[in-house]
A and B are shown apart, each in its own frame.
Chain A
Amino acid sequence: MLKVEHLSKMYGNNRGIHDISFTLKPGKILGILGSNGSGKTTTFRILLGLLKQDQGMIFYENKPIDRTNTRLFGYLPEERSLLRDLRVHDQIFYLGRLKEMSTGELEEQIGYWLSYLDIAKYRNRKIAELSKGNQQKVQLACALVHQPDIYIFDEPLNGLDIENVTLFQQVIRKLQKNKKCIMISSHQYEVIEQFCDSVLYLKEGELLFQGKISSLKRASSSTRVIMNDTKIDRWIDEAGVCDYFYENGRLILYMNTLPAAEKLIRRAMKLGLDEYALALPSLSEIIQERIHE
């Protein structure tokens, strides 16, 4: 389990991050969200040991993190970090050797991941010759080859087509099944919603909110009930109704909690309405709601 407590970092007089705390259990996937300059990269750099925090502690398995263990973290950076004149095999080999892997083990893992990611045929090609998507897969292989316990994926779907997004999903599920701790950062909220169990949102270096996605949805006031009953008078005084509007002949009611919405659905059933539905808010809507609160 990875535990981060009260992490803070200042850049001179500018605040990088302030009082960030979270926990990540094995087999769970945490989404790290935030606008540009919110402190995501700073958080990652501190976790990876690239920066030293001003305050706070990082624990892994209830012990302070051991920086001599080079194989603890696997990192997929947002920007391509490959030596373009190297061959695919040589690039992964080099980074694997830096992780103190033996040659035999490394060759085995390189062969495995190149096949898994469907880039084995590019093994002896130079990285510069590959497409953006395949370069991203090479970058991913570099993060996977040393079998770390904690993964940090920063914008992992950059340049990947729909097939490769599915492949990446398979990788994530595989890692999850192997009880690895996974952190994903992305501006594509649908990706986060698809992969992550929980999220934390940073704004200007501060932790705005965090929690399980399901819990956040339940507590959101953007839950909607959609029905084909146009008689608003029947519903407007119901507990939990914040707002309403009509669209294409349907009544859309905004509810302040999920239980209130569920109660409304049950009433709609009793009234014999033939069309009614519960629409949970998307992650994007939850974030917008939280930012404006």
Chain B
Amino acid sequence: MNELIHFSLKRRFGNGAQILLNIILIVLIGCAVFADRIIDFINPDMLEPPTVYLADLDENVKEFLLSQNSTLFHFEEWKHQKAKGTSSYILEQQNTYTLKSQYKVEPAMKEALTAMIAQARQTAILNETQGQNEMLNAYITPITMKNQITDKQTNHNEQQSNMTFMVITGIYFMMISFATTVANEVVYEKATKTLELILTSVSARTHFISKIIVGWLVVLFQCLSICVYTGFWLLVRNFYDQGTGLLKVIDQLHLASISQRTFGSFLSSLSVHGDLLVKLMFVFLFLFAGILLIQLLMVIVSSFISNIEEAGNIQAPFYIIMLIVYYLAISLNTPYHLNEGIGYYFSFIPFLSMLFMPCRILQGSVSFYELGLSFFFACSAFFMLAKSGSHIYQKGVLDYSSKGLLHILRQLKNT
């Protein structure tokens, strides 16, 4: 078995394409970490908010807008100067408000500007009618609404929500990347008829187990390498400017709502403690368990496939299933669904738990008992599938007759 694993890993990681890919990855991660410097070099104005020149406006509105410290717009008085860049606008008032721009303005931007103008007018009226009419004051006072959460356990905030979304999406893409990694190896060995020769030296069961181990090691090595590369670049960035530029550009690009401006303050805001680290460890455990489960399933199905063309045909439905699970996880990513609704139950079902349980962990609403139970179910499913899959694999791996998905499902059922 050692030789099988060693050979597989050597072929996978010891080839020119893989080395080139790693170099590209290092460069890409470096570019991502220093994105703000690159954007500054290419187009310094890209991250700046668009300039809105105020021309022929009511003085109260003009004064209000000029006093705003908005991240969406930069307001300037229009003195017939040349407009800065193609994304700047000119706002003027005749009978209605007119926003002149070179290109069509996004509806969201237009609505934001409209809201600001409305607020400016309300403020002006408030100032005029101050104390004169209480009811009028009450109605034109801008409305603010706070959300008071009664469940103290669910310390839900937007940052956690965004992080959960990023983690779910990351997990999903890892799932589809790694799902067929090893399965395609089996198909290739079968298509080249080398599998028969290999099986004269090792048993089908040994071959099967070696593929599962290779699959796991591939995921581990690739995740570790990405972590190492990212860690390296973040360290470099930290030495450069404590991460100020990177955090700022993430905020400016609305990738995440980050108010902190250094890595240190950002990490402090995450309230990293022992509990969280354990839960994060469980997130990764669930992730790996889920990927292993999918890989195992794909290897078993692939044992019935004789060529690469069939592989695409039969593996495609799995991608669709994973996509459905992904959208389910996104749509059920709310405290209610994860604590009481269907998301709660999904977090205990193997295969689904790899997405739903990390969501619950990141929302901070799961006990260690539930974690342990869900992990136990996931591991049990894995071992049961591995045990029965070994028999199915032995039958399918030397069968070269062409068949479709339905036939394979029938074979699995009969076995």
Contacts and interface: CB of A to CB of B under 8 A. Distances in A.
Nearest to A71: B201
A97 B5 CA distance: 12
Interface residues on B, range: 10 to 19
A95 to B, nearest CB: 7
B201 A45 contact: no
A94 B193 contact: no
A75 B199 CA distance: 11
Contacts of A84: 192
B284 interface: no
B196 interface: yes
Contact of B201 (A70, A77, A79, A80): A70
A80 B194 CA distance: 8
Interface string A196-213: 000000000000000000
B289 to A, nearest CB: 30
Nearest to A148: B200
The CB with the most chain A CB atoms within 10 A, among B193, B198, B200, is that of B200
Contacts of A1: none
B202 interface: yes
28 contacts: A49-B199, A49-B200, A49-B203, A51-B398, A67-B203, A73-B200, A75-B197, A75-B200, A77-B196, A77-B197, A79-B193, A80-B193, A81-B192, A81-B196, A81-B197, A82-B192, A82-B194, A84-B192, A94-B7, A95-B197, A95-B198, A95-B201, A97-B3, A98-B3, A98-B4, A98-B198, A98-B201, A99-B201
B195 to A, nearest CB: 8
A80 B191 CA distance: 11
Interface of A: 45, 48-51, 67, 70, 73, 75, 77, 79-84, 94-95, 97-99, 142
Given A81-B194, A98-B198, 9 more contacts: A50-B196, A50-B200, A79-B193, A80-B193, A81-B196, A81-B197, A94-B3, A95-B201, A99-B201
B4 A45 contact: no
Is the contact region of chain A dominated by helix, strand, or loop, or is it mixed? Answer: loop
Contacts of A98: 3-4, 198, 201-202
B197 A142 contact: yes
A283 B32 CA distance: 74
A70 B193 contact: no
Contacts of B203: 49, 67
Contacts of A73: 200
A51 B368 CA distance: 47
Contacts of B398: 45, 50-51
Nearest to B195: A81
Contacts of B7: 94, 97
A83 B203 CA distance: 20
